Amino acid sequence: MDRREFFALSAMAGAGALLLPGFIGRKHNKAPLYLKDFSHAYASDPRKAAIDWFNDARYGLFIHYGLYSILGRHEWVMYNEKIHVADYAKLKDEFKADKFDADFITDLALESGMKYINLTTRHHDSFCLWDTRYSDFKSTNSPAKRDLVAELSEQCNKKGLAFFLYYSHGRDWRHPHAPNNDQYGGAARPEYATPEPFYKYGSEHKLNLYVEFMKNQISELLENYGPIAGIWLDGIGTPLTGDIAAFECQDLYNTIHSKQPQVLVSYKQGLLGTEDFLAPERKYDKGNKPQKPLEICDHLQKKGWGYTKTEDGNHKTADDVIKMLKTAGSYPANLLLNTGPLPSGQMHPEDVVALRAAGKRIRTEGWESILRG
């Protein structure tokens, strides 16, 4: 039995049995491999040790992969083209991920000089890349029959890479009780010409059910996959346009920290101010000195995060990567650099070339020379 067959069978057996069977409920007295250089600090304060590690990490790989990759028209294709829920859901039957190779991805990250990987476990379209018990809209219920979170977690933890989980929090274009356009903006829902029958409206709409759903899913990720380095929340524009308190974010943060004490939490540029680090897109106002550790996320396509076919032949080069690293270092901040895999899950060849070449420069010139030059 090869590695992919193993994960396919494991996914059908349930996420709880996938990996690290001794992790759930264990005492956190031993630092995860990615924190091995901070083990002394970890023994007394796991979260402080993780923050110290994050401040030194400098560079990570962001991966936007999901059903939208099949269409190759940006990860916002469902919203931009006003594709109804039932029509978009048909893409699940085309999701094979036959060339998604966690072993290759993690080796590429290490060769590129990266210290961590962040995977879109669930984007705004609500398709889940793990074997969640709270939704049937998931990769293990597709032709792929694979738990991609499990596969990448296993390889990251084997090789000493930190593993972060992107999770679309404030914005969901599928869940019946997710924030709707009547109460929230921030691209909460596509602007359909006719009502979407999948959604609940008026008195039938219960945001608290969606809040509970999100808490359950994030708890599930922390209980069944680990160790996890961070939960990276997205969709901040939606709660900012309505009742932030209704999302119970501080309770969620407390739950996250209780599940795994080293886990860091971000919510883009900061929703409550109690996040562990800030993670704005592409830039940060240097006149506004950050009060938290900072990470800048950017992409290797000239435009967009998820695979966009029209960008083929127009991806950024190794020189561009070095420039982005210098920009991030000037804040100072980590650079979380995104790649959008092809529909098959294969890393985009242009990105592989750029990342490897930039990684070679980092190894030969050294970080200080790269950031100072």
Q: What is the pLDDT of residues 98-144, one digit of tens each?
A: 999 999 999 999 999 999 999 999 999 999 999 999 999 999 999 99
Q: Cα(172)–Cα(174) distance, rounded to whole angstroms?
A: 6
In a domain, 10, yes or no: no
Domain span including residue 223: 48-372
Burial 77-106 (b: 16+ CB within 10 A, else e): bbbeeebebeebbebbeebbbeebbbeebb
The per-residue pLDDT for 28 is 58
pLDDT of residue 20 exceeding 70, the answer is no
The per-residue pLDDT for 185 is 87
In a domain, 108, yes or no: yes
The per-residue pLDDT for 291 is 80
Q: Cα(292)–Cα(275) distance, rounded to whole angstroms?
A: 8
The per-residue pLDDT for 183 is 87
Model confidence at 9, in pLDDT bands (50, 70, 90)?
Answer: very low
CATH number for the domain spanning 267: value is 3.20.20.80
Average pLDDT over residues 18-37: 66
Token pair, residue 151, equals 């596969």
In a domain, 21, yes or no: no
pLDDT digit string, tens, across residues 69-100: 999 999 999 999 999 999 999 999 999 999 99
Contacts of 279 (CB under 8 A, 6+ apart): 232, 266, 267, 268, 269, 294, 295, 296, 297, 336
pTM for this model (two decimals)? 0.92
Q: Would you say 179 and 230 are in contact if contact means Cβ atoms under 8 Å apart? A: no
In a domain, 15, yes or no: no
Please provide residue 173's backbone torsions phi and psi, each rounded to the nearest 5 degrees.
-95, 10
In a domain, 127, yes or no: yes
Model confidence at 60, in pLDDT bands (50, 70, 90)?
Answer: very high
pLDDT digit string, tens, across residues 290-346: 789 999 999 999 999 999 999 999 999 999 999 999 999 999 999 999 999 999 999
Token pair, residue 156, equals 């990251």
pLDDT digit string, tens, across residues 220-248: 999 999 899 999 999 999 999 999 999 99
Q: At which residue do the structure tokens 């924190």 appear?
A: 35
Neighbours of 271 (CB within 10 A): 21
pLDDT of residue 13 exceeding 60, the answer is no
pLDDT of residue 4 exceeding 50, the answer is no
In a domain, 13, yes or no: no
In a domain, 248, yes or no: yes
pLDDT digit string, tens, across residues 176-200: 999 999 889 889 999 999 999 999 9
Q: How many domains does the chain have?
A: 1
Residue at 265: amino acid letter:
V
The per-residue pLDDT for 287 is 67
In a domain, 36, yes or no: no
pLDDT digit string, tens, across residues 249-281: 999 999 999 999 999 999 999 999 999 999 999
The per-residue pLDDT for 14 is 42
Q: Cα(56)–Cα(259) distance, rounded to whole angstroms?
A: 24
The per-residue pLDDT for 258 is 96
